[in-house]
Amino acid sequence: MKLAFWRKSSSDDQKRVAAVAAPASNPLAAALRRITGATPDWSAIEASLLASDVGLEAATALIQAARGSGDGDGRSRVRAAALALLGEEKAASDDEADVLLLVGVNGVGKTTTAAKLAVRAKGSGLKPLLVAADTFRAAAIEQLRVLGNRDGIDVVEGRPGGDPAAAIHDALMLANARGYAPVIIDTAGRMQTRAGLMDELAKIRRVVAKVAPERLTHVLLVLDGTAGQNGIAQARSFDSSAGIDGIILTKLDSGARGGVALAVRRELGLAIKWIGVGERPTDLVPFDAEAFVDGLLGAPAIT
Amino acid sequence: MFDALSSSLRASLRRLTGSGRISAADLDAGLADIRASLLGADVAAPVAARLLEQIRERAQRSEIVGGLGAGERMLGILHDVLTEVLGGSGRELDLRERPATILLFGLQGAGKTTTAAKLALRLMKEGRRPMLVAADPRRPAAAEQLGILAAGIKVPMHREPVGTPVSEIGTRAIAAARRLGLDVVIIDSAGRTALDDELLEELRELRRVTKPRERLLVVDAAVGQTALAIAQGFSGAAEPTGLILSKLDGDARGGAAISIAGGAGIPVVYVGTGERSEALERFHPDRIANRILGMGDLATLAERVREAEIGPGADPSAEARTKAAEARALRGGMTFDDLLSQLRQMSSLGPIGQVVKMIPGMGGMAEQAEAAVASGELKRTEAMILSMTPETDPSQGREAGKAGEKRSKAPVAEGGDAPEPLSG
Per residue, the 3-state secondary structure of chain B, as one string, reads CCHHHHHHHHHHHHCCCCECCCCHHHHHHHHHHHHHHHHHCCCCHHHHHHHHHHHHHHHHHCCCCCCCEHHHHHHHHHHHHHHHHHCCCCCCCCCCCCCEEEEEECCCCCCHHHHHHHHHHHHHHCCCCEEEEEECCCCCCHHHHHHHHHHHHCCCEECCCCCCCHHHHHHHHHHHHHHHCCCEEEEEECCCCCCCHHHHHHHHHHHHHHCCCEEEEEEECCECCCHHHHHHHHHHHHCCCEEEEECCCCCCCCHHHHHHHHHHCCCEEEEECCCCCCCEEECCHHHHHHHHCCCCCHHHHHHHHHHHHHCCCCCCCHHHHHHHHHHHHHCCCCCHHHHHHHHHHHHHHCCHHHHHHCCCCCHHHHHHHHHHHHCCHHHHHHHHHHCCCCCCCHHHHHHCCCCCHHHHHCCCCCCCCCCCCCCC
The whole-angstrom distance between A26's CA and the closest CA on chain B is 11
Query: pLDDT higher for A195 or A248?
Result: A248
Count of CB pairs separated by less than 8 Å, A with B: 144
Question: What ipTM was assigned to the predicted interfaces of this complex?
Answer: 0.85
What is the overall mean pLDDT for chain B? Answer: 77
CB–CB contact A142 B140 (8 Å): yes
Q: Which fold has domain A93-288?
A: Rossmann fold (3.40.50)
Clarify whether residues B213 and B189 are in a common domain.
yes
- Whether B388 is in a domain gets the answer yes
Which of B233, B261, B289 represents a domain boundary (last residue)? B289
CA distance linking residue B116 with residue B150, whole number of Å: 9
Among the residue ranges A48-57, A119-128, B157-166, B361-370, the one predicted with the least confidence is: B361-370
User: What is the CATH number for B61?
Assistant: 1.20.120.140
Q: Tell me the residue range of the domain where B127 lies.
A: 100-289
The verdict on B240 and B105 lying in the same domain is yes
| Residues B187, B157 share a domain | yes
Pick from A287-301, B185-199, B289-303, B385-399: least confident: B289-303
pLDDT per position as a tens digit, B133-155:
999 877 888 899 999 999 999 99
Type and span of the H or E element at A248? strand A246-250
Closest A-chain CA to B110: A107
Looking at per-residue confidence, does A256 or B406 come out higher?
Answer: A256
| Shared-domain flag, residues B143 and B276 | yes
* Same domain? B177 vs B280: yes
Does residue B256 sit at the A interface (CB-CB below 8 Å)?
yes
**B249 → closest Cβ in A109, A191, A227:** A191
| Total-model pTM | 0.77
Q: Is B392 in the same domain as B310?
A: yes
CB contact under 8 A, B42 and A228: yes
Do B107 and B254 share a domain, yes or no? yes
Residue B149 sits at the chain A interface (C-beta within 8 Å): yes
Residues of A in contact with B250 (CB under 8 A): 105, 191-193, 230, 233
> Number of folded domains in chain B?
3
Q: Which residue of B has its CA nearest to A137?
A: B145
Whether B40 sits inside 8 A of A279 (CB atoms) is: no
Q: Is the pLDDT of residue A30 over 70?
A: no
Under the banding of pLDDT at 50, 70 and 90, the label for residue B348 is: low
The answer to whether B230 touches A226, Cβ cutoff 8 Å, is yes
pLDDT at site B283: 86
Domain finish residue from B289, B317, B332:
B289
Which among A229, A238, A284 is the top mutation candidate for probing chain B, defined by the most B β-carbons within 10 Å of its own β-carbon?
Answer: A229
| Beta-strand relationship, B242-246 and B214-220 | parallel
Among partner residues B40, B144, B250, which is closest to A191 by beta-carbon distance? B250
Each domain of chain A, given as residue ranges in start order, spans: 11-87, 93-288
More confident call, B43 vs B74: B43
Tell me the mean pLDDT in the region B35-47.
89
Whether residues B273 and B316 share a domain: the answer is no
CB-based contact, B260 to chain A, within 8 Å: no
Residues B18 and B75 in one domain: yes
* The pLDDT of residue B30: 83
**Of B241, B261, B289, which residue is a domain's last?**
B289
| B229 at interface of A, judged by CB pairs closer than 8 A | yes
Judge if B155 and B269 occupy the same domain: yes
How many angstroms away from the CA of A142 is the closest CA of chain B?
6
Same domain, B68 and B114: no
Which of A136, A138, A229 is nearest residue B42 as measured by Cβ atoms?
A229
B241 within some domain: yes
Residue with the bigger pLDDT between B103 and A15: it is B103
Cβ contact, residue pair A191, B142, below 8 Å: no
Looking at the partner chain, which of B45, B139, B149 has a beta carbon nearest the beta carbon of A47?
B45
At A4, the pLDDT band (50, 70, 90 cuts) reads: very low
Considering only A246-255, B33-42, B101-110, B128-137, which range has the smallest mean pLDDT? Answer: B33-42
Which chain B residues touch A53 with a CB distance below 8 Å? 42, 224-226
Question: Span B395-423, mean pLDDT?
Answer: 42
Is B424 inside a domain boundary? no
pLDDT, tens digit, 9 for 90 and up, residues B265-280:
999 999 998 889 999 9
Question: What is the C-alpha to C-alpha distance for residues A1 and A100, in angstroms, rounded to an integer?
Answer: 14
Q: Has residue B253 been placed in a domain?
A: yes
A227-249: pLDDT as tens digits: 999 999 999 999 999 999 999 99
Task: Given CATH 1.20.120, say whether it is the number of domain A11-87.
Answer: yes
Q: What percent of chain A has pLDDT over 90?
A: 75
**pLDDT at position A1, please?**
39
Q: Is residue B415 included in any domain, yes or no?
A: no
Cβ of B49 under 8 Å from any chain A Cβ? no
Q: Do B138 and B189 fall into the same domain? A: yes
Per-residue pLDDT, B304: 53
B contacts of A149 (beta carbons < 8 Å): none
Q: Measured between CA atoms, how close is A180 to chain B, in angstroms? A: 25
Chain B residues with CB inside 8 Å of A281's CB? none
A146 contacts in chain B (CB < 8 Å):
140-141
Please determine, for residue A295, whether its predicted confidence score (pLDDT) is greater than 70. yes
